């Protein structure tokens, strides 16, 4: 083997190593891109799930209010805040049944528990007026305890109005 052949063969072997390193780098960048797309997809999926749970909870309280129109007329649903604690009167299983106020208290107890169980850092309010219009606001997010005007992007909010 001549010295000339030996030198050209060494150059070719070095070039193959560089090609392999470039291919490996490009593959790593592609995998990072794919992982980023997967994370974005999962975040979007979770956001959609939480929004659907919020819509479910709004419809749930509206249905409860429609089923207990006497309780609505008495103002039992006019001011609701799920940060408060509502105890169950236990009249559902009672053979006597519930008065409209106690049924409303039972509804608020169950609904508050559902808001806290179904939404990440969830809270909700219901505000009603004399004309029968109710505004239901549901909030959820990572840092709900620090809600302010400056960091309003840290939580999601769904506001719906219903006329009963």
pLDDT at position 12 is 58
pLDDT at position 146 is 47
Is the pLDDT at 33 greater than 90, yes or no? Answer: yes
Q: In what order do the strands lie in the sheet with 123-128?
A: 79-81, 123-128, 133-141, 155-163
Return d(Cα 20, Cα 81) in angstroms, integer: 62
Residue 104, burial from CB neighbour count under 10 angstroms (0-12, 13-18, 19+): buried
pLDDT digits (tens, 9 = 90+) for 38-74: 988 888 888 888 899 999 999 999 999 999 999 999 9
Which residues, including other chains, have CB under 8 Å from residue 82's CB and lie 6 or more apart?
111, 112, 115, 116, 122, 123, 124, 125
Q: What is the mean pLDDT of the chain?
A: 84
β 155-163/79-81 pair status: unpaired
Alpha helices (H) in the chain, listed in sequence order: 3-67, 69-73, 100-118
Model pTM score: 0.74
pLDDT digits (tens, 9 = 90+) for 111-120: 999 999 999 8
H/E element holding 131?
none
Is the pLDDT at 133 greater than 90, yes or no? Answer: yes
Q: Which is nearest to 117 in space by CA: 96, 134, 140?
A: 140
pLDDT at position 147 is 47
Is the pLDDT at 8 greater than 70, yes or no? Answer: no
């Amino acid at each position: 083997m001549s010295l000339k052949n030996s030198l050209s063969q060494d150059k070719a072997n070095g070039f193959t190593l560089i090609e392999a390193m470039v291919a490996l780098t490009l593959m790593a960048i592609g995998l990072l891109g794919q992982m980023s797309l997967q994370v974005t997809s999962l975040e979007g999926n979770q956001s959609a799930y939480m929004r659907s749970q919020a819509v479910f909870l709004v419809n749930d309280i509206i249905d409860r209010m429609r089923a207990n129109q006497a309780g609505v007329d008495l103002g039992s649903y006019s001011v609701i805040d799920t940060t408060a604690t509502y105890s169950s009167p236990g009249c559902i299983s009672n053979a006597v049944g519930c008065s409209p106020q106690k049924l409303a208290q039972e509804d608020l107890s169950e609904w508050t528990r559902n808001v806290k169980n179904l939404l990440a850092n969830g809270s909700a309010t219901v505000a009603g007026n004399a004309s029968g219009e109710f505004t239901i606001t549901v909030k959820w997010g990572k840092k709900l305890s620090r809600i302010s005007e400056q960091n309003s992007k840290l939580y999601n909010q769904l506001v719906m109005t219903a006329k009963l």
